[in-house]
Structure 1
Amino acid sequence: MEQLNHFFADLSGLLWGWPMIILLLGTHIYLTIRLRVPQRYIFKAIRISVKKDTEATGDVSQFASLATALAATIGTGNIIGVATAIALGGPGAVLWCWLTGVFGIATKYAEGLLAIKYRKKKEDGQFIGGPMYALEYGLKWKWLAILFAIFTAIAAFGIGNTVQANAIATVTKETYAISPYFTGTIIALLIASVILGGVKSIARVCSALVPMMAVFYVVGCIYIIFVNIDFVWPAIKMIVKCAFTPQAAGSGFVGAAVMTAARYGIARGLFSNESGLGSAPIVAAAAQTRNPVRQALVSSSGTFWDTVVICAMTGIVIVSSVLHYPDISFSNGATLTHMAFSKIPIVGEPLLIFGLLTFAFTTILGWSYYGEKAMEYLKGSRWVIPYRIAFVIVVFIGSVIQLDIVWNLADCMNALMAIPNLISLLALNGIIVHETRKYLWQNQLDQTEDSED
């Protein structure tokens, strides 16, 4: 087991070297420039996401699609992932994570656009799409589409399954002394009861849970920031300074190279918001929308909420708490967030546990859909039910295995998914610009695609 962990750790380090950082951030920045800073439309995107559109076509509402995508992204990456990034890469990792989200809004926009542009309608009337369809029908590179689908089907068991199940089991064991085997069984049964109903069942549950859990978590973060108010500005300055210098930050942190801060910050940023990963477009393809650009805007708002808001708040909470309380150190690693929330009297720890449990649970739901759609692309609809069954079984397994291996494997799968997806975004950027000009820049967002000349 230890040798396997070292293997995935080495592979993760290789995949997340300078080439990946350049490809990922380069794509974010390039699309931001190419699309004339689509981040400036973020409030328009938020308004569209909460409006019901009776003239649109699709399987689920745009809000339900966004909620499902957020369910898959707002998870342990926001809680444990940020803490892990800080422990391994230093406070500067928070800024890299945040920048990944800010520029990643453009990439998530482009992914959502291509998801609608190249989605297909099945015989039963349901819509399917995602990067594999953009790669096959947009670029005619089916071999790369197959690779993406394979990586996605496997990654779903890591980033969206074992990581989340392990986090739930670990928290319940440490807090309530509940056996991981018992926790794993309960989680598996709950997941099975939802995913067997398909995308509408998943979207219904996510639409109910995501807004509630996000509000509770953000309120907790705001309270801690208020308590740590005298340390918030010093924390922000430390985050910025450590992002670009290898100097020690004190409080148990012995200093890290800029490359290390960038690597872990960007990796956890991608893990959290999934911009460039290619996962969210799979559920975006099922959204009820009039044209590709409307859904592109809605998709982009997911990265804003996930990273620009929630991950940033988590990072500030952690760093300011380390500066405020002498018993908290950067070396505490994955427990940093837990220690920060424990400073809230009475409700702090239950609030964090509730957030972690619901975040992780809904992430499993979202990724079960991503994985099954990838498998459906590879092998057809007959493989969906067997994949769901396997997914439920792995939920239980993930609850009882070693966490280090899970994180390293997840990082590897993230990178392998991102590469073909980013290639499709760059190669099809002309289509993305054309659609954006037609609907957004010419103020035709209400135009229905099928009615065009």
Structure 2
Amino acid sequence: MEQILHTLHEFVWSPGMLAFFLLTGIYFTVQSKFYSILRIKQWFGQTLGSLFKNPQVRNTEEIQAVSQFQSFCTALAATLGTGNITGVATAIMAGGPGSIFWMWISAVLGMMTNYAENYLGITYRYKDEKGQWVGGAMVYIEKGLGCKWLAVVFSFCCIGASFGMGNMVQGNSMANGLKNVFQIPVFFTAVVSAVAVAYILNGGMKRIAVCTEKLVPFMAGIYLITACGILIACRHRVGWAFLEIIKNAFTPRAACAGVGGYQLKTIIQTGISRGVFSNEAGLGSSVIAHAQSDVEKPEIQGMWGIAEIFVDTILVCTVTALVLLVSGVYRPEICIQNFSTGIENIDGTTLMARAFGSVIPFGEELLVLSTVLFALATMIGWSCLGERTAVYLAKEKGTKIYKWLYVAVAFLGCMLAPAMIWELSDTLNGLMAIPNLLALFLLRREVQYPKK
């Protein structure tokens, strides 16, 4: 079983599949005439730049819908997780600083992939018996392609990913961090997490949206302020860090602890895969949250998709990488890890904690608290994605079963650390991409872009 899972994981995240991700992003980027790059002022002004200018962006009069900003925060909550902290450290440990450059490339191209996903998500969404929006990759796969079975396959992979990477992995990282630094018993964290998730899930989409609207800006603000404080303290090394990232993006590293040096293929593959893993562009998962918005024009929600990738990867992941490099705790010889057992999560957390602790007082404690907030936000965000997918599959009955299972997994995830959970979750994430990318390709001509 373990060998089958490993083989499937290697296929899902093979160079061929990563090329599929990139080619999809390249197509929509070129087709839009490089909209995400050349028209930053427009999409930023319509999204984050409008928060304090247009009240309708933050508020909605629709009872069964959420505001544009709330749907954005819910989607961002699902993507802003431990991957933005430990995942970035893992990428550098596996592929060197140069992997961050390729993470940027995947993000820039992924912006328009996410735009296309959200455009189709708004175009094909529909309301259920309660008047709530049902939308996402599974909906445009069914209605756009007329392929119900493929939509069902995507849905089961999405629900599996919500239990794994969206729940159990996050809870385990949170519980271990609190135990190692604050000596908080794992059982206590498990109980509190399960109760919190149960309370939020029981309130439905509205409560999830209200929670993420408050949690995401708070946690991102705390983390970025702390990280920027480190960058200011080590400002004399920031320029060097950028040069290391650019230089090593095309140059294989020297030997690592006596073992053969990095290959350029490894650097590129690591950066791109971790970029996709972080921002989920091409997986089709975050579309489910964006589809809950009260927005009328699909172009507008597409812009929020661009903003999501910008915040997740270009901003947060870049800051994380710079902190790790300027702190001086990263050494090429620590790159050798057993990535098939999930140990990279433990070592990534330890490395980032050392980076924070080596520069500022109580740095390790602040890093752990940031990890806890990121993990909790991901658990909440993914509960929305999984619950809406359960509604698509089995309506009200499906959502009740899903909620109970999600709460149980939230408890177990803190208590257990199964060796296969990382690879299983990563595989389910990748499996979602196959039907979603196929749908994006076949429906590509339906995607329209904003006018000047």
Settle same-fold status: TM greater than 0.5: yes
Q: Give the letter aligned to residue 445 of structure 2.
A: G
Match of 1:405 among 416, 420, 439: 420
Instruction: Give the equivalent residue in structure 1 for 2:55.
Output: 52
Task: Tell me by how many angstroms 1:329 deviates.
Answer: 4.9
User: What CA distance in whole angstroms lies between the structure 2 residues aligned with 1:243 and 1:401?
Assistant: 37
Which piece of structure 1 moves more, 172-181 or 118-127?
A: 172-181
Instruction: Give the equivalent residue in structure 2 for 1:19.
Output: 16
Q: Conserved in 1, the CA contact under 8 Å of 2:177 and 2:368?
A: yes
Which piece of structure 1 moves more, 348-357 or 420-429?
A: 348-357
Task: Tell me by how many angstroms 1:252 deviates.
Answer: 9.5
Q: Conserved in 1, the CA contact under 8 Å of 2:255 and 2:262?
A: no
Task: Tell me by how many angstroms 1:133 deviates.
Answer: 0.8
Q: Taking every aligned residue pair, what percent have the same amino acid on both sides? A: 38
Alignment of 1:43-192 (within 5 A): 43-49=41-47, 50=51, 51-53=54-56, 59-192=65-198
Which piece of structure 1 moves more, 6-15 or 179-188?
A: 6-15
Task: Tell me by how many angstroms 1:399 deviates.
Answer: 1.3
Structure 1 residue 425 and structure 2 residue 431: aligned?
Answer: no
Instruction: Give the equivalent residue in structure 1 for 2:206.
Output: 200
SS in structure 1 of the partner of residue 415 of structure 2: coil
Which structure 1 residue ranges, 4+ long, deviate > 6 Å from structure 2?
A: 54-58, 249-254, 325-328
Which piece of structure 1 moves more, 328-337 or 206-215?
A: 328-337
User: What CA distance in whole angstroms lies between the structure 1 residues aligned with 2:425 and 2:211?
Assistant: 25
Task: Tell me by how many angstroms 1:81 deviates.
Answer: 0.9
User: What CA distance in whole angstroms lies between the structure 1 residues aligned with 2:113 and 2:60?
Assistant: 27
Alignment of 1:281-296 (within 5 A): 281-296=287-302
Instruction: Give the equivalent residue in structure 2 for 1:335.
Output: 350
Task: Tell me by how many angstroms 1:172 deviates.
Answer: 0.8
Q: Conserved in 2, the CA contact under 8 Å of 1:56 and 1:290?
A: no
Q: Conserved in 2, the CA contact under 8 Å of 1:338 and 1:352?
A: yes
User: What CA distance in whole angstroms lies between the structure 2 residues aligned with 1:119 and 1:291?
Assistant: 12
Structure 1 residue 366 and structure 2 residue 364: aligned?
Answer: no
Q: Give the letter aligned to residue 406 of structure 1.
A: I
CA displacement, residues 258-284 of structure 1 (integer Å, 9 cap, x when unaligned): 222222222221221111111111011
TM-score in terms of structure 2 length: 0.90
Instruction: Give the equivalent residue in structure 2 for 1:414.
Output: 429
Instruction: Give the equivalent residue in structure 1 for 2:239.
Output: 233
Task: Tell me by how many angstroms 1:401 deviates.
Answer: 2.5
Alignment RMSD (CA, Å): 2.3
Structure 1 residue 29 and structure 2 residue 44: aligned?
Answer: no
User: What CA distance in whole angstroms lies between the structure 1 residues aligned with 2:176 and 2:94?
Assistant: 20
Task: Tell me by how many angstroms 1:179 deviates.
Answer: 2.5
**Does the C-alpha gap of structure 1 residues 344 and 384 become closer, same or farther in structure 2, counting only changes over 3 Å?**
same
Q: Which runs of 5+ in 1 are unaligned?
A: 444-453
Q: Conserved in 2, the CA contact under 8 Å of 1:322 and 1:329?
A: no
Instruction: Give the equivalent residue in structure 2 for 1:378.
Output: 393
User: What CA distance in whole angstroms lies between the structure 2 residues aligned with 1:243 and 1:94?
Assistant: 8
Match of 1:351 among 356, 366, 390: 366
Q: Give the letter aligned to residue 125 of structure 1.
A: G
Which piece of structure 1 moves more, 154-163 or 6-15?
A: 6-15
Which piece of structure 1 moves more, 276-285 or 348-357?
A: 348-357
Q: Give the letter aligned to residue 78 of structure 1.
A: N
User: What CA distance in whole angstroms lies between the structure 2 residues aligned with 1:121 and 1:184?
Assistant: 35
Instruction: Give the equivalent residue in structure 2 for 1:247.
Output: 253
Q: Give the letter aligned to residue 356 of structure 1.
A: T
Q: Conserved in 2, the CA contact under 8 Å of 1:96 and 1:243?
A: yes
Q: Give the letter aligned to residue 90 of structure 2.
A: T
TM-score in terms of structure 1 length: 0.90
Task: Tell me by how many angstroms 1:312 deviates.
Answer: 1.0
Aligned residues: 433
Q: Conserved in 2, the CA contact under 8 Å of 1:42 and 1:297?
A: no
CA displacement, residues 356-381 of structure 1 (integer Å, 9 cap, x when unaligned): 11111011011011112222222222
SS in structure 1 of the partner of residue 65 of structure 2: coil
CA displacement, residues 32-82 of structure 1 (integer Å, 9 cap, x when unaligned): 001111213344333333233379867000000001111111110101111
CA displacement, residues 142-185 of structure 1 (integer Å, 9 cap, x when unaligned): 22111111110111111201111011011011112223222112
Q: Give the letter aligned to residue 175 of structure 1.
A: V
Q: Conserved in 2, the CA contact under 8 Å of 1:372 and 1:384?
A: yes
